[in-house]
């Protein structure tokens, strides 16, 4: 088993919920993500060293930082509490973006640590530790960002207890447009607006859409995919928190999107598209919608079979 003294990992941004899969579906995208360096050290270090454009906005206290909490959970659960590791986080992703910013930090941290120790755990077994990072970030240990951030591609969480994670291969021509408007929407605020009780009629519609979404992916049936992309749990309550949402969605559909919804808890909007060219036009349409709401934004276009967390340096 090869072990290292210092390892750096990169974890990608992710789109969670994917309309009909609240808390149970997510996928990785290319274009942005966070980097974490884990270093074996001789002395305890309660601080996460922060850099990158958004590093100054997050806590450096290891017990409050998502990367720190995920690493602490790994060390505790694997009986490695005696190990001293230094942590540096290059925070490239904006907070409260709906693109899995906290998940990218947690995923990169546990992946780098596991590699440093000679990869005793499989990537899928790192998910519960990264989920602890989500718990400290927003009060809910959901896996729909951390699982795809670690594993890459499209992921379905069939069960949280016990955790049952399934990777779903997607058609190669399936692309995603994600547009991030420059406002912050905290996940815990976006969860607070959710209804606590759901009607039986809505449960039936939501489960039918989630099931048909999976069939559509398996059959590369883009019409069925579009018909399945409706959310009755979160989106009806959350769109009011996102200026320009309705125009942006209409623009996406006019530009040829298969379906369009809120990325994670927002404010980013994502759309699934057949082919990269359509996805580019759709992203521009969404961006135009935000600009009509006086919001600047960044756009990302990615295939759905995007890589998960990777090692970028190991010494
Ligand atoms: N499933 C989570 C939510 C994702 O919608 O609250 C947060 O990124």
Q: Note the pLDDT of residue 214.
A: 98
Question: Does the beta carbon of 101 sit less than 6 angstroms from any atom of ligand 1?
Answer: no
Question: Does the beta carbon of 234 sit less than 6 angstroms from any atom of ligand 1?
Answer: yes
41-61: per-residue pLDDT in tens?
988 888 999 999 999 999 999
How far apart are alpha carbons 160 and 256 in whole angstroms?
Answer: 35
Q: Note the pLDDT of residue 103.
A: 97
The angle subtended at Cα 274 by Cα 273 and Cα 275, nearest 5°, is: 105
- How would residue 24 be classed by pLDDT, with cut points 50, 70 and 90? very high
- How would residue 17 be classed by pLDDT, with cut points 50, 70 and 90? very high
| Beta-ladder partners of 58 | none
**Helix, strand, or coil here: 308?**
coil
Question: Does the beta carbon of 265 sit less than 6 angstroms from any atom of ligand 1?
Answer: yes
Q: What tokens appear for 65 in the block?
A: 């930082």
- Set out the domains of the chain in order of their start, with CATH numbers: 6-168+305-314 (3.30.230.10), 174-303 (3.30.70.890)
Residue 277: pLDDT above 90? yes
Q: Can you give the pTM of this predicted structure?
A: 0.97
Residue 100 CA, closest ligand 1 atom number: 8
pLDDT (average), residues 137-158? 95
Q: Note the pLDDT of residue 204.
A: 97
- How would residue 217 be classed by pLDDT, with cut points 50, 70 and 90? very high
Q: Note the pLDDT of residue 43.
A: 84
Residue 4 · residue 115 · CB < 8 Å = yes
Residue 139: pLDDT above 90? no
Question: Does the beta carbon of 264 sit less than 6 angstroms from any atom of ligand 1?
Answer: yes
- How would residue 115 be classed by pLDDT, with cut points 50, 70 and 90? very high
pLDDT (average), residues 100-108? 97
Q: Note the pLDDT of residue 3.
A: 84
How far apart are alpha carbons 257 and 272 in whole angstroms?
Answer: 6
**Helix, strand, or coil here: 105?**
helix
pLDDT (average), residues 249-273? 98
Q: Note the pLDDT of residue 2.
A: 76
Helices (H) and strands (E) in the chain, counts: 10, 11
6 conformational bin, left if phi > 0, alpha if psi -120 to 50, beta if neither? beta
Residue 234 CA, closest ligand 1 atom number: 5
67 closest CA partner among 126, 98, 122, 107: 107
What percentage of the chain exceeds 90 in pLDDT?
94
Question: Does the beta carbon of 189 sit less than 6 angstroms from any atom of ligand 1?
Answer: no
Q: Note the pLDDT of residue 140.
A: 86
Residue 219: pLDDT above 80? yes
Instruction: Specify the range with the lowest mean pLDDT, choosing from 132-141, 152-161, 198-207, 268-277.
Output: 132-141
Question: How high is the mean pLDDT of the chain?
Answer: 96
């Amino acid at each position: 088993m090869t072990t290292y003294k210092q390892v750096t990992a990169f974890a990608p941004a992710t789109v969670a919920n994917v309309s009909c899969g609240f808390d149970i579906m997510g996928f990785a995208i290319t274009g942005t993500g966070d980097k974490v360096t884990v270093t074996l050290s001789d002395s305890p270090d309660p601080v996460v060293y922060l850099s990158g454009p958004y590093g100054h906005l997050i806590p450096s206290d290891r017990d409050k930082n998502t990367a720190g909490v995920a690493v602490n959970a790994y060390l505790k659960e694997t009986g490695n509490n005696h190990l001293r590791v230094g942590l540096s986080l290059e925070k490239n992703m904006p907070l409260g973006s709906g693109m899995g910013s906290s998940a990218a930090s947690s995923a990169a941290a546990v992946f780098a640590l596991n590699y440093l120790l000679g990869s005793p755990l499989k990537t899928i077994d790192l998910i519960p530790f990264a989920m602890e990072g989500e718990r400290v970030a927003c009060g809910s240990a959901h896996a729909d960002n951390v699982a795809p951030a670690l594993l890459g591609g499209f992921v379905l969480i069939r069960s949280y207890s016990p955790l049952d994670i399934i990777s779903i291969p997607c058609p190669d021509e399936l692309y995603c447009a994600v547009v991030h408007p420059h406002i912050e929407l905290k996940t815990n605020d976006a969860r607070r607006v959710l209804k606590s009780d759901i009607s039986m009629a809505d449960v039936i519609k939501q489960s039918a859409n989630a099931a048909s979404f999976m069939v559509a992916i398996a059959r590369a049936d883009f019409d069925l995919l579009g018909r399945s992309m409706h959310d009755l749990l979160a989106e009806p309550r959350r769109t009011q928190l996102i200026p320009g949402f309705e125009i942006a969605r209409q623009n996406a559909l006019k530009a040829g999107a298969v379906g369009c919804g809120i990325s994670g808890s927002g404010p980013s909007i994502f759309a699934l598209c057949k082919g990269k060219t359509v996805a580019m036009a759709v992203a521009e349409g969404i961006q135009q919608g935000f600009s009509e709401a006086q919001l600047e934004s960044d756009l990302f276009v990615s295939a759905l079979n995007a890589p998960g967390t990777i090692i970028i340096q190991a010494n």
